[in-house]
A and B are shown apart, each in its own frame.
Chain A
Amino acid sequence: MINFFWASLFFFLAGALFYKKSKASYLLAFLGSVSALVVGIYALNSSEELFRMSLTPNVSITLGLDHLSALFIIIASIAWIALSLYSVDYSVFYPKSNLSLGFNLALLGMMLVLSARDGFSLLIGWEIMTIFAFIMMVISGLHYEKAYRFLAFGELSTACLLIGFALLYQSTNSITFDALSRGGSVVLIFLSLGFIIKMDIVPFHGWMRGIYGEMPDNAAAILSGPVTLMGVYGLERIIPVMPINDTWNLVIIVLGALSAFWGGLQAVAVNKVRLLPAYSTIENNGMILTAIGFYALAQSITNPDLHYLALFAQATSIIIALSHTFSKTLLFMSLGHAKEAYDVHTIDEARGVWSGVGKIPALGIVVSALSFSAFPPLIGYVGEWMILETLFQSYKFPNVSTEFIAALTGVLTALAIGLIGFAMIKLIGYTALGYDHGRKSRVISNRFMNSSETGMLLLILLCGVALPAVIILLGFPQLLTSLLDVPAPFVLASNQPIFGVITPTLIFIVLIVLMIVPFILFISKRTKVRKVTSWNGGLPLEEEEYFTARAYSQILEHILRNVYHTKEVRTKSRSTIEVEDIMLRPMNWLTRMVEKIGEGEALVLMNGRISAYVAYILLLFIIAFLIGMAVM
């Protein structure tokens, strides 16, 4: 196993070195990801320490793997495999930029994070990941200012982690993960805040709006899937071992639900093809955060029922993380494929992918978007059922305030699922399944793109259909039971022995029997069939008469106009509807303040006069002199 680990790091470095030849570079990234997957599979049942280097008597850099890291390495590396393979073809659209440098090194950083055993190595990996993601953005031609926003939030997360680990060192004299159990509440808050910011929870999602529309899709997929997965990993690592703080647990539950709701709400109103998946990431991560919060809350109480609920909540968070990573990767890949083939930016312009671009990207969009809309038998359905079920089972908590907050969370989560379903239907209906109006897409080489999309598609379907296997692999065999004559392991139970749901496996079997077979019988007996165009008052529909994607969501934008601040901009012959994400207002205000203060400060301090600079030198001399005097 050690060899595979070092091999993967080596492949990533090599890929970064050869960044000039992008195809070779991405293939090296692919090899690195495959090695990582092998490492993960090995480490699923055996923990091992891989590397140790002492810096000071108390601090050393330790890399090692255990069951939790292995899980996340498997999930992340599957996404990396798909994306690196996809990028082999996709890099053609960004020939001048050297994206593969940032790509490979970001993957390296993530590998370090997942195999870190102490705070120092975690921080090293964290920073590598953030900085090279930033470099990916800058290289792809994005204006500096927008990329700085991402960096600002990334560094905020790092700063929180730094403070957390520093406080941990201060109280326990060590920053390995074993020392976490002796840390205090403040450490918990800072560390989890750092991870939460990385998960793009509202209100830390502000950097997305300017950037997502213009980044290349493999970079966007990396930022949405694996990078936020790191935040989830961090939370999963610290929550079981750190001392309980019930108030903080409730705070993160509410934050998660709010984030889920806000993500769904804004996803309904966006029109750019890439922003919709970005808001869906916020929504899913919100649900993961809620699940983690319940896991922590349920663990703290010694009721055996709640112990089962804790297990269930933990499984929920991991399954949603898995389904989100896979589905988001597939969605970005397919949308990127379609978008680049058509060379457009908005949903309305990207219509008719099935007939205009190709069947595989269209199928990719359909399957991943359906997975987000909780459509059985896909894996997304399981995740969303499990989070709702966790909220239902919260009646077991002993105190009323917890139950009340759980009810509120349930309302927000249900709304979120409804809204994201609406948004996903809009996406599928217009891009994948819409009429193409004779649009021509440019010819691109798509062998690698198609193969990685197909692979991801089959994996999502497989994970859903073979869910019991997945759950056993994740390490939660207690969740599969039998109920009411449905044999084990086809029932996923949220409460022993009362309540559960049929796993998608059984649904899939029933579908085959009740749908496929009758369909075949029907096809074989077909009488004469006449095909006609849709009925539209006797005349064929022209393109300008088709219902637009914006009109589809305008109804919700009008009903919720107070939340969206919907405005109509109208002249005599032109009309537009504008909506706003009001959670971005604080961030925008802050940005403007920083700019003003920075400018003002620069004008005052760096005023170009020699006398001022001489005065600064003199001032520093005096301060150094005084400090030297104080030390001695």
Chain B
Amino acid sequence: MRLLAGVIEIDGKEKLLMIEDGVARLEPVESQAQREEFGCYQLLKKRELHLRRGSVSGPGVFRFRYGPVTAGVREAGCFNLYTFGEKILHAGIDVSWKHRGIEEAMSNKTPQRALALAEAVCSNFAFSHSVAYARAVENALHSNVDMGVQNWRNILLEAERIYNHLHVITKLASAAAQKVLTSHLSSLFEEALRLNEILTGSRYLMGINQVGGFHHLPSLENMQHAINGYSLIAKRFEQLYVHSVNNANYMDRLHAAGTITADQAIAMGLSGPSLRACGVKDDLNTTISHLIQLPVITQNEGDALARMEVRAEEIMNSCEYIIDHLKISDAWNFNTDEATKSIRENGEGCGIANSPSGAVAYYVVLQDGIIAHARIFTPSYVGMHAAAFSLDEYIFTDFPFIFDSFGVHFSDAAR
């Protein structure tokens, strides 16, 4: 299926960054029909920092501003909720507080330096960002990347997925006041972060991916430790998950909160668990056709519960995936010291990666080996727009469930 990930406009010329069957492609825009094919075209073209601007007026209607310094969401961002008392009539999200200008900072930097910047966009998606960026640069330079590197990238993408999904479910459980569940999930989350450190030396998988290669690989002892760790996480998480699904209180808070239909989700440009929860199979993880395929988990309701369930199953599948592939990873021989050969120094390219909350896409233009332009399309940008959209007509008590279930972050949306 075709998904629109980004719209690039440089010097008056427009290009569409498409994801078709899991592969990123650039398409120049020639006709109006191309623009109208996707509902999210305008959204991706404008890349606003004030999402869903608009207001509702009336006697007794006022704007409840939640932010930019909040205790609940803890990131710097502002919610503008229009209400006449309890019901949210219109929600708008202001992400400009965290705009750091990373795309501008990437210009005139070497690819290695810009990779560190890519990891700084949103450090809990650091690995997906660096993989998407590296793929974009490799695509621009027509580099040939070793199969071992590609495999390792996929393993660590799943590692990132595990701890992020655990974090989302922890936040949902905490919002529903399930204290025991929250504590146990929190301990699993911390275990996952420690396993990251064992595998890569960094708790957030930062500084290990490079353009065309890997900085270093974990030792056999570390890999064994990680295998034990992930199997323990999978077992414990399954126990907790089965328990939590039987708790009517918890399920009731999540059920029918923030429902979006499949058509709305596609029109808003969603991808990842938020899209899969509406019943649409996107093929973001079909890039690795030669390895054991990860099943695509979908649910049908499109509410917060469905998004949570998709994430829960993905955790368990990803743990299994990592364990299986770590066991066979010593068969992939490649030299980490050698940088892969690149043929050119100029070019433009795009790359995507399957981040925990959807597709992250990069577009880079290189000139003389230096980054000239960079464009970053993050999953949180469309995700925040969808979260604001789905908040309409719900009461404020459902707010933490609806917002947290999308798994979006302000630093990611604001770049």
Contacts and interface: CB of A to CB of B under 8 A. Distances in A.
Interface of A: 271, 346, 348, 536-539, 541, 544-552, 554-555, 558, 570, 573-577
8 contacts: A348-B60, A537-B67, A539-B65, A539-B68, A548-B60, A558-B85, A573-B56, A575-B89
Contacts of A536: 65
B332 to A, nearest CB: 50
Contacts of A547: 62
Contact of A551 (B56, B68, B85): B85
Interface in B198-244: none
Interface string B156-198: 0000000000000000000000000000000000000000000
A537 B78 contact: yes
Most B CB atoms within 10 A — which of A536, A541, A577?
Answer: A577
B54 interface: yes
A524 B57 CA distance: 49
Contacts of B69: 537-538
B64 interface: yes
Nearest to B89: A575
A539 B60 CA distance: 22
A467 B337 CA distance: 95
B66 A554 contact: no
A545 B67 CA distance: 12
B65 A537 contact: yes
Contacts of A577: 60, 84-85
B57 A573 contact: yes
Contact residues on B (Cβ < 8 Å of other chain), bracket: 20 to 34
Nearest to A573: B56
A29 B98 CA distance: 68
Contacts of B12: none
Contacts of A575: 56, 58, 61, 84, 89
A294 to B, nearest CB: 39
Nearest to A551: B85
B86 interface: yes
B84 A550 contact: yes
Contact of A576 (B54, B58, B65, B78): B58
A346 B55 contact: no
B66 A537 contact: yes
A570 B65 CA distance: 22
Given A551-B83, A551-B85, A554-B86, A271 B68 contact: no
A341 to B, nearest CB: 22
B101 interface: no
Contact of B85 (A346, A539, A555): A555
A577 B68 CA distance: 30
Contacts of B62: 544-548, 551
Contacts of B85: 550-552, 554-555, 558, 577
Given A573-B55, A573-B56, A545 B65 contact: yes
Q: Which 7 A-B pairs have the closest CB atoms?
A: A550-B60, A554-B85, A538-B69, A551-B85, A575-B58, A548-B60, A576-B58
Contact of A537 (B61, B70, B86): B70
B83 to A, nearest CB: 7
B50 interface: no
Interface in B306-347: none
Contacts of A576: 58-60, 84
Contacts of B70: 537
Contacts of A545: 62-65
Contacts of A551: 60, 62, 83-85
Most B CB atoms within 10 A — which of A348, A541, A544?
Answer: A544
Given A545-B64, A575-B89, 19 more contacts: A271-B60, A348-B59, A537-B65, A537-B66, A537-B67, A537-B70, A538-B68, A539-B65, A547-B62, A548-B62, A550-B84, A551-B62, A555-B85, A555-B86, A558-B85, A573-B54, A573-B55, A574-B58, A575-B58
Most A CB atoms within 10 A — which of B55, B56, B60?
Answer: B60
A573 B82 CA distance: 10
A576 B57 CA distance: 9
A554 B64 CA distance: 15
A548 B60 CA distance: 5
A426 to B, nearest CB: 12
Contact of B63 (A271, A537, A544): A544
A83 B56 CA distance: 43
A545 B55 CA distance: 12
A472 to B, nearest CB: 48
A452 to B, nearest CB: 33
A552 B84 CA distance: 9
A14 B46 CA distance: 77
A346 B59 CA distance: 10
A164 B83 CA distance: 54
Nearest to B61: A575
B50 to A, nearest CB: 15
A571 to B, nearest CB: 9
A547 B60 CA distance: 8
Contacts of A555: 85-86
Nearest to B64: A545
Nearest to B80: A545
B57 A574 contact: yes
B336 to A, nearest CB: 46
A552 B64 CA distance: 13
B84 A537 contact: no
B62 to A, nearest CB: 5
Contacts of B57: 573-574
Nearest to A554: B85
A550 B67 contact: no
A421 to B, nearest CB: 19
A100 B328 CA distance: 101
A271 B66 CA distance: 27
A538 B63 CA distance: 16
Nearest to B60: A550
A550 B59 contact: yes
